[in-house]
Homo-oligomer: A and B are copies of this chain.
Amino acid sequence: MGRWPAGAQERLQEAAIELFTERGYERTRVAEIATRAGLTERTFYNHFADKREVLFPGQDRFIADIREAVVAAPAEQAPLDAILAAFTAGSDWFDQRREAAQRRRRILDAHGDLRERERAKTAALGEGIADALRTRGVCDPAATLTAAVAVAAHQLAAARWSADPRHGALKDHLRDSFEELHRTARTW
């Protein structure tokens, strides 16, 4: 390790969340985030591609994990079941960060630029899953369509989990959402 205090990336993320909450996303300069984290603006850009990206830590890792889990699922498992299992596998991590997720969501919802980035990430997740399904031998258009509904169900589950006053586990909301997906699909 170097001589600098470790965890620069994490410090930048925390500083960003604080400032975005205090003053809003637009009124916060990148230089301010860096200063609060004890770093410089230039260093911020060494860690994040742009100002928005600081609010999506580990998102690419998450997408890659889901993709790999879907690819590695048992061959006899139905596509939607494999995807549900993949989502469920990592759901504890989120349960331990409910409050942070809510803070983050409030910031995201308040600004169009950030929603745009989130939508892009969501779309990337869908494409990743579609890729994984193709690797499993599911061919288009089923791969694309299945990935799309799965992501929609995941979004739904995440929204309910975040708003749930009873603090139910994410995996339970996922189970419910996928269950409702099956019911809804029967009407199509």
Q: Does A96 contact B (CB under 8 A)?
A: no
Quick one: closest B residue to A140, CB to CB? B156
CA distance A188 to B151 in the complex (A): 14
Smallest CB separation, A120 vs chain B (Å)? 4
Task: Give the contacts of A128-151 with B (CB-CB under 8 A).
Answer: 140-142, 144-146, 148-149, 151
Summarize A's interface: helix, strand, loop or mixed.
helix
CA distance A78 to B156 in the complex (A): 22
Chain B binder among A2-10, A14-22, A164-172, A177-185: A177-185
In the bound complex, do residue A188 and residue B182 qualify as a contact, i.e. CB atoms below 8 Å apart?
yes
* Copies of this protein in the complex: 2
Chain B binder among A63-71, A101-109, A111-119: A111-119
Say whether, besides A115-B120, A116-B120, A141 and B180 are in contact (CB < 8 Å): yes
The number of residues on chain A lying at the interface, defined by a beta carbon within 8 Å of a beta carbon of chain B, is: 31
Q: Does A110 contact B (CB under 8 A)?
A: no
Q: Does A123 contact B (CB under 8 A)?
A: yes
Of the candidates B145, B155, B184, which one forms a contact with A146 in the assembled complex, judged by CB atoms under 8 Å apart?
B184
Nearest 8 interchain pairs by C-beta: A148-B152, A119-B123, A116-B120, A185-B188, A185-B185, A142-B184, A119-B120, A141-B180
